[in-house]
Amino acid sequence: MSLRGPMLLVVVVGIVAAGLGIGVPALNGAHVAVDEEQYYLSAISLAEDGNLDITDEIAEQRWRAFADVAPQPETSIRPDGSQLSPHDPLLPVLLAG
């Protein structure tokens, strides 16, 4: 018994479902949701400052380019006052590159 037909159907349904979701906001009136702005701020900091300290990006409200509301504070404030996002830096590295 061949699984080729059912597997092809699963792939087609997945592609159609993903295509229907393109452009649908995750939250009403927002371009990004949950903690995505933290990743974007970290990527901006890596690209422009060469570090993960997003203190200046938050102070300059750089999140306004991709979020309609201020992000929830998720940063870890270090003894020197720098603010680091607690998220894995791999995605910001890829976004900054």
Is the predicted pLDDT of residue 12 greater than 90, yes or no? Answer: yes
Kindly state the DSSP code that residue 63 receives in the 8-state scheme.
Answer: G
What pLDDT digit, counting tens, does each position of 63-95 carry?
888 887 788 888 888 898 888 888 777 777 777
- Close Cβ partners of 95 (under 8 Å, ≥ 6 residues apart): 39, 40, 43
The pTM for the full model equals 0.64
How far is the C-alpha of 22 from the C-alpha of 10, rounded, in Å? 19
Q: Which of 72, 40, 74 is CA-nearest to residue 57? A: 40
